Amino acid sequence: MTNIAIVGTGQTAHARRRLDVSQAGLAREAVMEALADAGLTMADIDSVVVASGPAMFGAVNQPEKWLVDALGARFKPVVRVTSGGGTGLAGALAAMNQIKGGVAKRVLVVAYDKLSEGALQASISTLYDPFWGREFAVGIMGFSAAYWRARMDRLGHTEEAAAMVAVKNRANSMLNPKAHVKKEVTVEEVLASKPLCWPIKVLDVPPISDGACAVILAAEGDAEAITSTPAWIRGMAYYSEADNAAHRSMLQSEPLKIAAAKVYRASGVTNPRRQFDVAEVQEPYTCFELSYYEGLGLCPEGGAAELIASGATQMTGDIPVNPSGGCMGANPIGATALIRLAEAAMQVTGKAGAHQIQGAELGLVQAGGGWANLRGVAVVGSTKD
């Protein structure tokens, strides 16, 4: 099978509110940076995949139809893949298939959300079936807090352990020029912060951001001609789980495990903790990062609290997780998954600047969305295999 590489990445200056650009202008900003990174222009791009969160976030239905002018994509194939918070990775997967399937050589993926423009929790609450629980919904915060509470009892994912995730990711954000939340916190401050949906407290929650990310993919042969530092995609998958299937366990995410198993098989990963040099995971709340440690096999089930406490996932640890700061530094929901992929690509090509993990060669990416029932995993490397 054809190997696919990331040949350019770009991100906007993420912010709580960008008043200088429209949704379309925001997406363009990331695209221009990715094109410049790859040394390409839109004329070199065969096809565009737009990924963004639910259209109700921004009051524009099928926003790619508006974005096309800002992307300079007239008369090109433009399609939008939407899959909640993980949509950027789902979009990248669609782009990979376009290249491997022979309908495009170079595909631009652009993911964005401009969350300052809408009523976020009200919007996300419409995820719920109007007949089944929507009136109790708090976006997915009530749900996420509930299953964290359950994992506390069963897997030892304590409030302290989650607070350490907040402390780590906020500290890492200080080194990331694209992150807009620049404030370090302590475990005590997180624990004492205001409960929103207990056990989720305000410092367990990432910011609400305006931001976009763009990634350009190309096939083996072409990729090396475009850049001397391609980041090779060793595997990528995006799995789902029926939201109210019988005996759905939310203690461990089944679709995450299935996706990880498939991608690890494709990329020859048998010992994730040892083989990966760096991981970028999409943590909509601190508690999810703990859960992903286990789902991704970075530690055994029930071992997440110990893993974070050991310091192994710190910048200086043996498996740094979210050197970018993750969602804690910037959280434009629809873009966050693609940001994780771009950050991992930057790491394995030595382009991460102040938050570079020295010598990183193999990176793990995780993303997800919906009702914790859409889960994607990718592996990127500095070499093809």
| Residues near 85 by beta carbon (within 8 Å), at least 6 away in sequence | 53, 282, 284, 333, 334, 336, 337, 367, 368, 369, 370
Q: Pick from 162, 161, 172, 163: which is nearest to 315 by CA?
A: 172
- 196 vs 319 by CB, closer to other proteins: 196
- 242 vs 316 by CB, closer to other proteins: 242
- 13 vs 79 by CB, closer to other proteins: 79
Q: Judged by CB under 8 A, which of 44, 149, 156, 273 binds other proteins?
A: 149
What Rg, from alpha-carbon coordinates, does the chain have? 19
Q: How far is CA 193 from the centre of its chain?
A: 25
- 230 vs 376 by CB, closer to other proteins: 376
Site string for other proteins, 9-48 (x = CB under 8 A): ---------xxxxxxxx--x-------------x------
Q: What is the DSSP string of 42-63?
A: GGG--EEEEEES-GGGTT-SST
Residue 284: C-alpha distances to residues 118, 225, 288, 327, 331 (Å):
18, 37, 7, 7, 8
The Cα 210–Cα 174 span in angstroms is 18
Contact between 192 and other proteins (CB under 8 A)?
no
The DSSP secondary-structure symbol of 128 reads S
* Piece of 6-14, 102-110, 344-352, 357-365 that binds other proteins (CB under 8 A): 102-110
- Per residue in 362-378, is it b (16+ CB within 10 Å) or e — as a string? bbbbbbbbbbbbbbbbb
Q: How far is the CB of 362 from other proteins (least distance, A)?
A: 21
Contact between 81 and other proteins (CB under 8 A)?
yes
Position 93: which residue type?
Answer: L
Contact between 125 and other proteins (CB under 8 A)?
yes
Q: Judged by CB under 8 A, which of 143, 264, 288, 292 binds other proteins?
A: 143
Q: Where are the beta strands (DSSP E) in 27-133?
A: 47-52, 78-81, 106-114
Q: Pick from 26, 27, 4, 25: which is nearest to 94 by CA?
A: 4
Place of tokens 């607070």: 163
Contact between 167 and other proteins (CB under 8 A)?
no
Contact between 142 and other proteins (CB under 8 A)?
yes
- 122 vs 354 by CB, closer to other proteins: 122
Q: How far is CA 249 from the centre of its chain?
A: 23
- 107 vs 364 by CB, closer to other proteins: 107
Q: Judged by CB under 8 A, which of 232, 288, 293, 371 binds other proteins?
A: 371
Q: Judged by CB under 8 A, which of 108, 127, 296, 342 binds other proteins?
A: 127
Q: Judged by CB under 8 A, which of 16, 36, 39, 129 binds other proteins?
A: 129
The Cα 305–Cα 175 span in angstroms is 25
Site string for other proteins, 319-358 (x = CB under 8 A): ----------------------------------------
Q: How far is the CB of 241 from other proteins (least distance, A)?
A: 6
Residues 268 to 287: which contact other proteins by CB under 8 A? none
Site string for other proteins, 214-253 (x = CB under 8 A): -----------------------xxxxxxxxxxxx-x---
